Amino acid sequence: MASSLIIMSSVMVLALVMALGSVASQAEARAFFVFGDSLVDNGQQIGSEFLLPYLSPQLTGKKLLVGANFASAGIGILNDTGIQFEYQRSVTALIGAQITKQLANGALVLITVGGNDFVNNYYFVPNSIRSRQYNLPDYVKFLISEYKKILMKLYDLGARKVLVTGTGSLGCVPAELAMRSRNGQCAAELQRAASLFNPQLIQMIGQLNRQYRSNIFIAANTRKMSADFINNPGAFGFITAKVACCGQGPYNGIGLCTPTSNLCPNRDVFAFWDPFHPAERANRYIVQQILRGTNEYMNPMNLSTILALDFRT
């Protein structure tokens, strides 16, 4: 997905970590690690600390203990979409292997990948390599099997509390409306992809938790969260969930958000900031569901419950 002007889209991480700062006051401060795509590729503060990207030259010394953001615009589950893991050696050199293990075990991890494997891979061009190699159901199964390896790798690295988001409503973002929609309806094939991917992701997470005999991985149903304000924008104070605040072309869904783009007068009443990314108020709704949502949004529990259980132990 587009990598420029991600300021509004990174609010999902900003709002989450700021909420963590207030909710986590009942427990010890913990490190926060973010993996994913442009939906979370900026990151901000946890408590009063600034969550730095892992390539930042400022990420040294004690700042390493706060956590880091490993997200990068456009990446996905597959190597041909792109993903990366690093960082542990620097922390081990600073505080030693045993304390590094404790840091990892107590950390909160957020991982958001999958959407680009459809938008920027399978459906990126007609007759893409992956679409010729797999029909859609088999491609989804392949993605889930590869995602499972990534989550197991996180476990092996010491992660014990991992929030795993699904894809949003892929066919309903302004970019896909501009390129594929008829009469403003969500793009059917991308919606089908999301409807296949998200339930299988939740099922796979359940299997891993049973394998590890603990609720290590928490599934965040971001497709339902985004569908709430996409299907009924007025209920959330939006005038539209089809037109982006910043962009050009139909639905402001073409190209990047640049100084020459159309810009809405009030971003608070637009559900989408740019052709791909939810606006700040929409992301804050998603974060609230991550924190306090029922089982239809968060499975097997929400983040507030995780923190409360940690505090009791």
Residues carrying an active site annotation = 38, 274, 277
- Which residue type sits at 72? S
User: Which alpha helices (DSSP H) does the chain contain, by range?
Assistant: 11-23, 88-95, 97-106, 115-117, 129-133, 136-156, 174-180, 188-212, 222-231, 280-292, 303-312
Q: Angle 16-18-22 (CA atoms, 0-180°, nearest 5)?
A: 110
List the structure tokens of 92. Answer: 């081990």
- Residue 83 is classified by DSSP as -
Exposed e or buried b per residue across 45-64, where buried means at least 16 C-beta atoms within 10 angstroms of its C-beta: bbbebebbbbeeeebeeeeb
Rounded CA gap, 230 and 227, in Å? Answer: 5
